[in-house]
Structure 1
Amino acid sequence: MSSTTDRIKGLANEAAGTLKQGVGKATGNTRLQAEGKVQELKGEAQQTLGKVKDGVRNAAGRI
């Protein structure tokens, strides 16, 4: 995946995870809260991967 794709998917996963956590909290569903947290963390990791890819590409371009 490209760095942009990683970042977009990461943002989407973070948003979905945050929403799941909120719904889980509002309904008292701890399983949904946990799933939301996992999805949010997955999104953060995807965004970080996209940033790393950008950094590597930029560093390679300067060599």
Structure 2
Amino acid sequence: MTNENLEIEALKAQRYTVQNKLSSVRERLKGNPSPEKRRQYDERKAALTAERERLSAAIKALKAD
């Protein structure tokens, strides 16, 4: 496996972890959290979504090379 493939696999693993955390946050939002908790979960969800998109873009860029 080339270094590029190893980098892609590492990024995919990170993206998978972020996706699992995002799913967990979504589940917590399905309950009826207090307004303060909801705000915290919404912020966490936005940060995780941005991280997932960043990782996806990095994977796509590496594959394009």
Task: Give TM-score scaled by structure 2 length.
Answer: 0.65
Alignment match, 2:3:
none
Distance 2:40 2:29 in 1: 8
Moved over 4 A (4+): none
Alignment match, 1:50:
55
Task: Give TM-score scaled by structure 1 length.
Answer: 0.67
Distance 2:27 2:21 in 1: 10
Once the 2 structures are TM-superposed, how far is the Cα of residue 49 of structure 1 from its aligned partner?
Answer: 1.5
Distance 2:57 2:30 in 1: 30
Larger RCO (alpha carbons 8 Å, 6+ apart): 2
Structure 2 unaligned residues grouped into runs of 5+: 1-6
Aligned residues with identical type, % of pairs: 5
Structure 1 unaligned residues grouped into runs of 5+: none
Q: What secondary structure is seen at the aligned counterpart in 2 of 1:7?
A: helix
